[in-house]
Every structure is written in structure tokens, then in C-alpha cells.
Structure 1
Amino acid sequence: DEAWNSRKESYLPECRKARHILVRIDATNANEEEAKKKARDRIGELRARIAGGEAFAAVAREASEDQNTASKGGELGCFAAGKLAKPNTAKKVDEAVFALEEGKLSDIIETDHGAHLIKLDEIVKGDDVEKLGKQEAALDLYLRLESERLAAEGGKQILAAVQGGKSLDEALQAHFDAVLPEKAKEAFAKGKAVGGGDDPKEEGADDDSDAPLDAWTDPSRPQVATSDPFSAGAPPFAQVQNPTDATKLIFELAGPGKVPDDLIKLYDGYAVVQLKERKPVEQKTWDEERDQFMNALRRAKQRDALVAYMLRLRELYAKEVVVNIKLTDDKAEGQDGSSQ
């Protein structure tokens, strides 16, 4: 009920369930008109494929450049008139959606972001609006809890592999090998990952068959990274939920190559940490690298403070949020990996 109450103002009678595909304008092209034409032409090609019988969701997953919706088949959710509106961008998409009949494709729409193609899946009426809203709220809650569980489970598997002697890279690769279907691995090996190269689906395959390939290309996938050097009084890296405890845990490790007995909780997942190097601090080194250390510490604290602030706002004002649909590719920052 709480999840539904926080969003029910978004689900008004006659709300539209729609999908979109975005092809961005190439900002590196000095000829703006040429760049716009290329985006329009590409959307035109995709529209022809869909009009020829291909599923909109499958084409969106393959070709859309909106990273927030592509993996969901271009889903924009169900929204009332004006709830998508942003100057010169989503307002045009909003207007196009409300001019469409159910099941129809839009013409090519140009915004500041690029060229769009819209499909109206359904006009939700009457009591069906609340029913849909509660279903989607329940699904989002389930997915959030299940994602948390799976992230912890995967992190523990990787941690156990590292404790057993594997490197972080080997442990992560073994995790991918265990969770991804063979078909997805074969397609990736041939250079047919989603968003690049040929369509990895075989003829007659289900529209969702390319979804597992996102695990190889999704920017938020688990990755191995090396932190900046940090002191005992500094956060080890960004996004750590409890920096003080995390730093203490790392500084208690016996030496390089060692890993803690548990995962480190992040705001958006978990990190498996392995000590890479420990250096004694010398006055000469401190004098030479003081600015680097202080800047890294300042950046980490600013990031963590911003994340904590946004989480508090979400808790306090969730019920006042009407809609949270983005047509940009902004992504929350986060990283997993090894530490110095």
C-alpha cells in the first residue's frame, strides 16, 4: 500500500501506456543538419522494420539509445497528459502519445535529444488505472527486493571464489559464466551483443531472448576497478553506505591479496574488496601528494553526502513525486571492485 500511495497521483483515468525508441543526434558532427538527418534516417529504418512485423520492444532493446528504457523494450510507463513535459523535449513526446490511437506508431519526432519513435500500447480507463498502478507498484517492489537479494548472493559467490584463490577478474568471469545462458555467451563471443553488430536472435526466437546480453554491456554491471589511495580516516571509494566501518574492515586485512570475511554494502549494491597494496606514509610523499589525497577525499565525501541527501529526500517526499520518467541517459554513479 505504501508503494502504491507514493505514486497513485500519476495513475489518472485515460493514462497512456507507451514505448519509445530514441536515436541521438551525433554531438561530434560539426554539421548539425547532417547529424539530425542521420538520426531521422535511422529512426525511419527502425520504423520500417516495426511496420514490417518486428516487435517494437525487440527493436527498442536492440537499437534505442535511451539507456533508461532500452532494456525494458522502450517502456515509458503509464502517464497522464502533461506528466512527461519538459521544455522542447518530452513535451513533444507527450503530445505525440496523446494524439495516437492504441497500437499505432507515431511519425518521426524530433527533440533536443534526437529522433524518437513512439508506440501507444494502451489507453487505461476507469478502475483499470488503479489496478494497473498497484500491479506495477508491486512489481517494482518485488524487483527491488529481488535485485537486492541477487546482488548479495552474487557478491558472496564472488567473495568465496576470491577467498578460494581466484583473482577478482577470474571470480567475476566465473560468476558471469554461471548466471548467463550459453546462447548469450555464444552471441557475445561473436560480437553480437545488444546495441552493437548484428541482431543476436535467431529466426523465430522469442522477443526477450536478447535480454541476458545486457549483462555484458550494461554500464551498471559488476566490474573490477582499483580505488584511489586512501588513509585510515577516509572513505575507501564512492557509494559506500558506511565508510567508517568499511575503511576499518580494509585496514584490518593482514596484507596484499587478502579479502574481508564479508561484503561491503553500497547504496546501490555490494562490493567485494581485495587489498592490492599498502604503503607507509612518509613526509616527503605526503608533501608531494597532499593535494591529490585531499581532492580525492573531498570528492568522495561530496558524492556520499549528495547520495545520502537524495535518499533522505526520497523518503520524506516520495508521496509528492508525480512521475519519474527520464528521456536522458543520466545514470547513477557506482562502482564495485578491488581497493588499494
Structure 2
Amino acid sequence: MEILDVLIIGGGPIGLNCALEARKYNLSYLIIEKGTIVNSLYNYPLYMRFFSTADKLEIDGIPFISTAPKPGRQEALEYYQGIARQRDLNIHLYEKVEKVSKDNKIFTIETTKGIYAARNVIISTGFYDIPNLMNIPGEHLPKVKHYYTEPYPYARQKIVVVGSSNSAVDAALETYRKGAEVTMIIRHDEISPSVKYWVKPDIENRIAEGSITAHFRAELLEIKEHSVVFKDKDGKISEIENDFVLAMTGYLPNFDFLKDSGIELQGECLNPVYHPETMETNVPDLYLAGVVCGGKDTHLWFIENSRIHAEMIIRNILAKR
């Protein structure tokens, strides 16, 4: 069996950047991705626009040309998938890594399609795979959606949107403009300050004028077939008619996979242990890159500020040689 210099788990922007950096120094590498190239971006809402400008999303110095000040999902897919195609990156798609173990100095990586060996492993799996569940009755009903793609299925429907971050605000505004009756259940006092600055006034104005109903400091208690039950800021329990619930409550990294790989997790946010200058975890030669480094704090790392991880990791691998 060939022993790779680097095996990269996750074919997102940062995983691709790690591969480009490894190839730059003639290291043998392989990316294993459970879906398509930049799978998380593929599953973003169809009309999503990034907060960052195109230049902040570039990897390996490859220009990202956008026709708008803030690039959208389709432009990002074209950019990153284009890089993988044009650079002919070594990547296996629709193959899921199930186990990472280490014997002496060699890792064994078991997947749904095979077994691989590598001297170094980089986990760059993002956080978009596991919804942050509310753990309330009815959450698993078919009408509950933890992923939102486009507004058209919700035309003329009674929609409850849970949350106040970018995904929740986008879902509320888009479904409202396609004729949905939208109610937002928000546990905080206001719309999240992190909402895109060009969108925040829009949602606040729609709430102020009554086009979108918002219950602040509220909690969803139960989801029924044709209604939902929630508690408002005064503790009053109310039940309203409902067709769909868009639970935009965030997403989590696969902590079980990290723990099973031997990585220590610390604190309430389950922050993975790694060296901030090398990105090496407590397991020698096992590295983290990208959003997964933040544990539950999924707003800590993103493409713009984690692009540097690839260079840090490969530099450390080369120094050990």
C-alpha cells in the first residue's frame, strides 16, 4: 500500500488550499470528500452572498473574479471547482472517512470505499453537516427543515423561522417576498449584530412595519402537525397555525469523529486542542484546518482568516522532515 505524505479529509476551500500547498513542495497527497467539491458551499441557499469580497476568498493566489461586490454561491462554486478541475487535484468524491487510527508513525484511514495510509493527516471537515438540534417534541416531523435552499416551496404558507443570524434572516426575507406568512422565534433581544450590514436594516424594517412578525426572547416549545407552541418574553404560552418550520439554529462539527481520532476537546465550546502556530493537534502529525478548529464557536474561523492554515501545516510537515 502506498504511504501518502498527506491525506486531507474534506474537500472544501481550505482542504483544497492544503492540497495546493502540499503539491507545491512535491508532497504526495489525497483529498477525501464525502460529497462533491466544496460540498458545504453547494448546500448553501441558492441565492446566498458572502460577507467577504472575492479577494478575501482566494486561495493559493489564484484570482477570484466576481461581477458583484460580494460574490454569491454560484460564483464560489465555479471558482473552487474550477481550481480543482484545472489543477487536476487528486481528490476522491462521495467517499466518507469513517476512522482514523495511528500505529507508530503511520496513520490508517478507513473509508466507505477503501483503506489508505499516510504519514500526516489534515482534518478540514467544516461544520455544516450536523444541525444544532433544539431537542423539542416534533422536531423530527417532515415539515421541519434545518437546511434552507430557496423560497419557492414556501409560497402562501405559514412559516416559522427559528433564529436571528444570517441564515434565519435570509430565509425570513426571501420567503416573505414570495408570499409566505412569516413568524420569527428569536431567543435574543434583537437581530444578531453579525447579520450582513446591507441586510440587517431590511429585516428590522419589515419587523417594525409588521410585515414579518418577530417574537424576541422567545422559545419554541413544541412542533405539531399543523401548529407550533412557543413561550414569549413574558412567559405566556401561545399556539399558532403553521405549515413549515425553518430551524436555522446553526450547525456543529462532528465531535465524535474528532474524539475517535484521538483529538482532545476542551471547555463548553468543545474546542479541539491544537498548536496555534502549526495547527498540529495533541496527536502528533494530525492537523486541523479551517472552521473545524473553533469547536461550537463556528463563527470564529471562516475562509478569509483560515486560508493561512495550509501554509502553516505544510511548513511544519516539511520542518519535521
Q: TM-score, normalised by structure 1?
A: 0.21
The structure with the largest strand share of the pair is 2
TM-score, normalization by structure 2? 0.22
Structure with the largest fraction of helix: 1
Instruction: Point out the structure with max Rg over C-alpha.
Output: 1
